[in-house]
Chains A and B, each alone.
Chain A
Amino acid sequence: MLSTSYVLLTIVGCGIVTLLSRTLPFVLLKNHSLPPLVVELLSFVPITIMTALWVTNLFTQHLGHLPSVNYENLFASVPTVITAVITKSLLWIVLVGVVSLAILRAVM
């Protein structure tokens, strides 16, 4: 059984860490501007970060070796991408994704 004080301490500690990661750039950039090259670099953040989050979920990591393919997530991604192209609606994309994985797990 996990002690309440241990869980609470972790919740608050991690809360502080997360809060600082999110707010410090706002505080530091309030009265300063970034150099143009950095701005250009950051313009790629939205697509690279979403790609990184997606691709890391398509593999299982084995440090020092090639990652193995997470076939469930890979196959579930196919109808999800098709839904994105057809509907351009986040709601449909998420629904089709979840249902795809549920069906895959039922048949695999």
Chain B
Amino acid sequence: MTDELDIRTAIKDTLPTVFGYIGIGLAFGVVSQSVGLSVLMVVLMSAITYAGSAQFIMVSMLVSHNPVVSIMVAVFLVNARMILMSTVVAPYFKKDSMWRNIFIGALLTDESFALSMNKVNYTEHKMSFEWFNTANLIAYFTWMIASGVGALLGQLVAHPERLGLDFALVAMFIGLLYLQVIADRSLAKSLQLIVILAEAVIIYLGLIFIPGNLLLVVGTLLGCATGVVIKHAFY
């Protein structure tokens, strides 16, 4: 990565991440089609809700005929981490217009968030609307197309789980985590490693008594608090 923040650079920075979206988007399309969603509904869900992994939960809840409100609550809980990510990204766009802020927020994803946090390590903590918006739009259209293609392919593939596509997203999280650690110069490497280990323990223990959806937000906040305490005590 370089310190450039124009559209061309954004495309170059974002392209490696599209394979993650393609894998999981295809998987989402295949799965949704197999439980009875039409290709049109799959594409509409990706285009309108655009909620990544939460869409898998939506589909499973739709299939078991849950009330719409329950599904909305579940999606809110799964994507509540978006509130955290938006809060981190928003200060970079204070000088941009309200509409630009809303547009960046509306299409923010785990990957464009992680990629941008990686990017600012190379740009002296500057961010541009052009760069972020390009990263967002590439993610959005890739996701929409991949899920539609997945739904079409779903009619052909008998055992989609054999392809291992459901691991694409986990692999991407691993990659983004590693790239973040090696790129971030504002926090000491040893501190980052300790916080990652602490977070892993928090999540493991949290799995015992905090429902999975809530755990992502509670566990992340606890991990951040642990990081602040350790930083002030030892760094």
Q: Residues on A close to B: CB < 8 A?
A: 1-2, 4, 6-19, 21-27, 29-30, 33-34, 37, 39-57, 59, 61, 63-67, 73, 76-77, 80-81, 84-85, 88-91, 93-106
Contacts and interface: CB of A to CB of B under 8 A. Distances in A.
A96 B171 contact: yes
Q: How large is the interface on B (under 10, 10 to 19, 20 to 34, 35 or more residues)?
A: 35 or more
Which of A43, A65, A66 has most B Cβ within 10 Å?
Answer: A43
B165 to A, nearest CB: 6
Given A19-B106, A76-B164, A29 B91 contact: yes
Given A25-B86, A42-B224, A90-B179, A7 B101 contact: no
A98 B26 CA distance: 13
Nearest to A42: B88
A42 B92 CA distance: 13
A56 B175 contact: no
A90 B12 CA distance: 12
Given A2-B63, A47-B195, A51-B223, A15 B49 contact: yes
Interface in B30-69: 36-37, 41, 44-45, 48-51, 54, 58, 62-63, 68-69
A14 B51 contact: yes
Contacts of B166: 101
Interface string B153-164: 000000001111
Contacts of A33: 91
A49 B168 CA distance: 17
Nearest to A99: B164
B172 A18 contact: no
Nearest to B186: A43
Interface string B81-111: 1111111111101100010011011111010
Given A30-B101, A40-B228, A100-B164, A93 B171 contact: yes
A55 B203 contact: yes
A18 B62 contact: no
24 contacts: A2-B37, A8-B44, A11-B41, A18-B51, A18-B79, A22-B86, A22-B107, A25-B90, A26-B93, A30-B94, A49-B81, A50-B114, A52-B216, A55-B200, A57-B170, A91-B16, A94-B20, A99-B164, A100-B167, A101-B166, A103-B164, A104-B164, A105-B164, A106-B162
A17 B209 CA distance: 26
Given A40-B228, A54-B170, A63-B208, A95 B164 contact: no
Given A18-B54, A49-B85, A76-B170, 20 more contacts: A11-B48, A14-B58, A18-B51, A22-B105, A22-B107, A22-B108, A48-B195, A51-B203, A51-B223, A52-B216, A54-B173, A56-B207, A57-B173, A84-B175, A84-B178, A84-B179, A90-B16, A97-B164, A102-B164, A106-B162
